[in-house]
Amino acid sequence: MASRSSRSVSQVEPPPLVRRFLSHLAAERGLAPNTLAAYRRDLVSLVEHFNSTATTLEQARPHDFTGYLREQTRQGKSTKTLARRVAAIRVLLRYMSSEGKDVELILQHIERPKPERSLPKILSRTHVNELIAAPDPNSPMFSRDVAILELLYASGLRASELCELPLRDVSLQVGCVRVLGKGRKERVVPIGRAAGIAIERYISETRPTLDKQRSDRLFLSRTGRPLERVALWQLIEKYAKKSGLYSRGVSPHTLRHCFASHLLSGGADLRVVQELLGHADVSTTQVYTHVDSDRIRAVHRKFHPRA
């Protein structure tokens, strides 16, 4: 039997308090499974540290939590990871407070590290076209793969949103898709002519041969099951290699970045792009404006009285 230390965090069973907390998040906040899984991983990491120091969540003092965060830093965890784990801990502590535990002193001692904001990787329009042109026309999955690439670039969907997109939420006549995003917030996103044509071709030519189980999902695997996120990442990686873009770290999220950046460089309003991406805060969308400096300078030269 494997020792406790050799078990991965995902295999460790969280204590009752954490299980109650996760159930609360699922029931009261309607968080997506991927978000719940991230909370679970971060809190199990904390619990494992406390177990190694012979304490528990209920017994832990401020120095126990700060000690955990220092240990994470010594292990080389990134600022982004630390910020996420601090956020998970703070939400858990507020839940513990609602159960009657006095955690105010702990909250005061836990500092939020400033996350490192990494700039998104953006492909040029030419490179995006090369990526979309990479699928082999002789492949039985050609129309599906082209439809996936076109839709990712046309709509800026997250990988999970694309994989979970129901067929019924695609309106080719109107030219849009209805998306259930983070926090189960619904938004409607236009898809454009190229993506619409690609999806229509996939639905008419390829999807009927894959749909052996009468699935409600738009995109299916070779076996007829709903396409999974891992398979989507592998598909994008495959075509990135084929088009000579692998060294650029291309992923499904890269096409989401390209969607936003290319819209802004074309003159789209930041608030509109925020809505299309499903961002709760416009500051998240503003990261894309860094690639638009040429347009900003041109606007300044055109409109500033002393330019």
Positions marked catalytic: 158, 182, 253, 256, 279, 288
How many residues comprise the chain?
307
Q: Tell me the DSSP string of 148-177.
A: HHHHHHHH---HHHHHT-BGGGEETTTTEE
How many Cβ atoms sit within 10 Å of the Cβ of residue 68?
A: 22
For residue 68, give both structure tokens. Answer: 């955990």
> Taking a C-beta distance cutoff of 8 angstroms, is the pair 166, 216 a contact?
yes
Between the alpha carbon of residue 241 and those of residues 5, 24, 255, the distances in Å are: 37, 43, 15
Question: Which residue, among 59, 56, 65, has the nearest Cα to 109 in the 3D structure?
Answer: 65
For residue 142, give both structure tokens. Answer: 């050609």
How far apart (Å, rounded) are the C-alpha atoms in residues 152 and 259? 8
How far apart (Å, rounded) are the C-alpha atoms in residues 206 and 142? 9
> Taking a C-beta distance cutoff of 8 angstroms, is the pair 170, 216 a contact?
no
> Which residues lie below 8 Å from residue 29, measured CB to CB, with a gap of 6+?
183
How far apart (Å, rounded) are the C-alpha atoms in residues 151 and 192? 9
> Which residues lie below 8 Å from residue 52, measured CB to CB, with a gap of 6+?
none
How far apart (Å, rounded) are the C-alpha atoms in residues 9 and 12? 5
